[in-house]
Amino acid sequence: MEENLHGLVLVHTGEGKGKTTAAIGLAVRAWGEGLRVLILQFIKGGWKYGELKAIEALRAAEPHIEVRQCGLGFTQRDKSDMDKHIKAAHEALKEAEAEITSGNWDLVILDEINYAVKFGLLEEQEIVELLKKKPAGLHVVLTGRDARPDIIEQADLVTEMKLVRHPFQKGIKAQKGIEF
């Protein structure tokens, strides 16, 4: 193991925009340094064509980065089929555990995993247990609003995006390259 290597747990949370964007930024930086990067999406559709296309281009240059969509397209309005969503989230969690303990990666991003906890698809303690299994040299990023206290407690780096203003408040529609 590289001297000075200390695998971190990072959390991007808060109401402001930029949690997933910051995770993409880290993924690109890490890829550039030769780290093997895996991104698991816990909520389907969270990643847009723009970033997926960019990662395809990175993969074509050097393939040590991968994005996988695991969970289903759960939204707050979609409460009818909770069992189906809970099952999908647990399959995603199992996949996360297999990959985190595999030794195949240097950075694993669990995008919107906090959202899956917030909406009752996963239990806070399940994430806490998962983080305990993290190899010492692996960096793990967890994104999503309302990160639970026990998850924050286990993190080495916690950034809360603060909502000061958002164009949606003025009715400005999603802009290409900014929102997607």
Residues 50-109 within binding reach of ligand ATP (CB under 6 A): none
- Considering only the stretches 25-33, 69-77, 85-93, 159-167, report the one whose residues sit in contact with ligand ATP under the rule CB under 6 A: 159-167
Rule CB under 6 A: say whether 44 interacts with ligand ATP: no
- 96 Cβ contact list (under 8 Å, min separation 6): 40, 70, 108, 110, 113, 130
Residues 115-154 within binding reach of ligand ATP (CB under 6 A): 143, 145
Reduced to 3 states, what is the DSSP secondary structure of residue 138? coil
Q: Which is nearer to ligand ATP, 80 or 169 (CB)?
A: 169
Rule CB under 6 A: say whether 17 interacts with ligand ATP: yes
Distance in Å, CB of 67 to ligand ATP, minimum: 14
Query: Which residues make beta-bridge pairs with 142?
Result: 11, 110
Give the burial string for 131-155 (b: 16+ CB within 10 Å, else e). Answer: beebeeebbbbbbbbebbeebeebb
* Count of chain residues binding Mg ion (CB under 5 A): 2
**Which of 9, 13, 20, 65 touches Mg ion by CB under 5 A?**
20
Nearest to 131 by CA among 160, 97, 159, 92: 97
Report the alpha-carbon distance of residue 169 to residue 173 in Å, rounded: 10
Report the alpha-carbon distance of residue 9 to residue 158 in Å, rounded: 8
Distance in Å, CB of 107 to ligand ATP, minimum: 17
Q: Which is nearer to Mg ion, 19 or 85 (CB)?
A: 19
List contacts with Mg ion (CB under 5 A): 19-20
